[in-house]
Amino acid sequence: MQLLYHGSKVEVHRPEIRIGRYHKDFFHGFYCTKLKAQAVRWASRFRRAGVVSVYRFDETIPLSVKRFPEMTEEWLDFIVACRSGVPHDYDVVEGPMADDEIFSYVQSFLDGEISRKAFWELARFRRPTHQISFHTERALAALSFERSEPVDAGDHRK
């Protein structure tokens, strides 16, 4: 079992898949990270206090999982498809995150403003990120809430 963190403005005792107006990196899902500092940034974005909810992920439950250990051509193509509204059949997807800056590069690539080669030149200097998204009720059942931790408004810089 590994610990995962979810940063938001409130404690999330019961994770759920929310369908938003915009598609995310790995499509609609419940997003966590194994990097606590990243969850703290998520929780305190917009310079307000938030909460990091902590979960145990039971990886022994049989799930359909897609993992991207690093940013690759396959990762880029998967994110482009998901951000364009193309769903997938995985219960869980794990890999690097296209944060705001990386996503602007993805969008420039999608719009034909930069080449694939230019994307990789711009993306390679970014700090490591991690996300793991849960896309089915079966996947959410593999998460068990452990605790929550308050985050100060100024913690978004960490």
Residue in the structure block whose two tokens are 């915009």: 22
Domain ranges within the chain, ordered by starting residue: 2-157
What confidence score (pLDDT) does residue 48 get? 85
Cα-only R_g, the chain: 16
Measure CA 40 to chain center. Answer: 13
pTM (2 d.p.): 0.88
Alpha-helix residue ranges (DSSP H) falling in the chain: 36-43, 73-83, 100-110, 116-123, 137-140
Q: Which CATH number fits domain 2-157: 3.90.175, 3.30.870, 3.30.720, 3.40.50?
A: 3.90.175
Q: What is the pLDDT along the chain (158 residues), one digit of tens a residue?
A: 799 999 999 999 999 998 877 778 899 999 999 999 999 998 998 788 899 999 999 999 999 999 999 989 999 999 989 988 999 999 999 999 877 777 788 889 888 999 999 988 888 766 778 999 999 999 999 999 999 999 987 665 55
Return d(Cα 106, Cα 102) in angstroms, integer: 6
Residue in the structure block whose two tokens are 């390679």: 124
